[in-house]
Amino acid sequence: MSDIQLPERLEGVEPVRSIRTFASLTYQYTPGRAASRFLKEVERKRLVGQRCPVCKKVYVPPRGSCPTDGVATEEEVELGHTGTIVSFCVVNVPFMANLMEIPYVGALIQLDGSDIPIMHLIQEVPYDEVHMGMRVEAVWVPDGEISHTLESIKYFRPNGEPDAPYDSYKENA
């Protein structure tokens, strides 16, 4: 690069190394039948998974089929709004500036009655008291703000129950 002869007026001018440009994208999302059912139920403040007819595992959010058995999951199962922390991470990195006060906890939560954990936030507890096996409950946004998205659950918080035994969730830990 150094052998390029610059015109006199550009000599001594700091070269441009890169420029930053902004892009914005809006997507149309088609969830399909199983996820549509799930999101419609979320709108009614209900969490509904689907059970595999072969392995009997309950998936949430349901995708309409079992990835292990490759069969449709038709049977719907209403789940509690409580669950167990299977594992977690204390986040000290300011990812979404101003949205979250750090440190905060992201956890894999296995909802009661389901067989696969979902990722969500843990709040209303000091971050250094969060632990595997902790029992938690969903805190929903105000009724008027509930819509067809899992963001309708603001976060999970401890519900005061004794810890779940390791054996009860270790399959997903």
Partner 1 sequence: MMGSERVAIVGTGQTKHQATNDGSIAGVVRQAAERALEDAQMSWADIDAVVIGKAPDFFEGVMMPELYLADALGAVGKPMFRVHTAGSVGGSTAIVAQDLVAAGIHERVLTVAFEKQSESEAMWALSVSMPFQPPMHAGAGGYFAPHIRSYIRRTGAPDHIGILVALKDRLNALKNPYAHLHEHEITFDSVKESMMLWDPIRYSETCPSSDGACALVITNEKGGDAAASDGRPPAWVKGTALRSEPTMFAGRDQVNPRGGQECAWDVYKQAGIAHPRDEIDCVEMYVPFSWFEPMWLENLHFAGVGEGWKMVESGATQLDGDLPVNMSGGVLSSNPIGASGMLRFAEAAMQVRGQAGEHQVDGVRTALGHAYGGGSQFFAMWIVGAEKP
| CB half-sphere exposure, 44, CA atoms < 13 A | 9
- Please report, as a single letter, which amino acid is at residue 23: A
Nearer residue to partner 1 within complex by CB, 107 or 164: 107
- Distance, in Å, from the CA atom of 125 to the CA atom of 145, rounded to the nearest integer, reads 24
Q: Which does 54 bind (CB under 5 to 8 A by kind): Zn ion, partner 1, none?
A: Zn ion
Tokens matching residue 63: 């995708």
Residues in the chain: 173
Nearer residue to Zn ion within complex by CB, 65 or 82: 65
**Residue list 41-70, contact with Zn ion (CB under 5 A):** 52, 54-55, 66, 68-69
Q: Which does 65 bind (CB under 5 to 8 A by kind): Zn ion, partner 1, none?
A: none
R_g of the chain, CA atoms, integer Å = 23
Instruction: Check residue 111 for interaction with Zn ion (CB under 5 A).
Output: no
User: What's CA 8's distance to the chain center, in Å?
Assistant: 56
Residue ranges in the chain assigned as alpha helix (H): 32-43
Nearer residue to partner 1 within complex by CB, 10 or 93: 93
Nearer residue to partner 1 within complex by CB, 5 or 18: 18
Q: Which does 23 bind (CB under 5 to 8 A by kind): Zn ion, partner 1, none?
A: partner 1
Q: Rule CB under 5 A: which residues touch Zn ion?
A: 52, 54-55, 66, 68-69
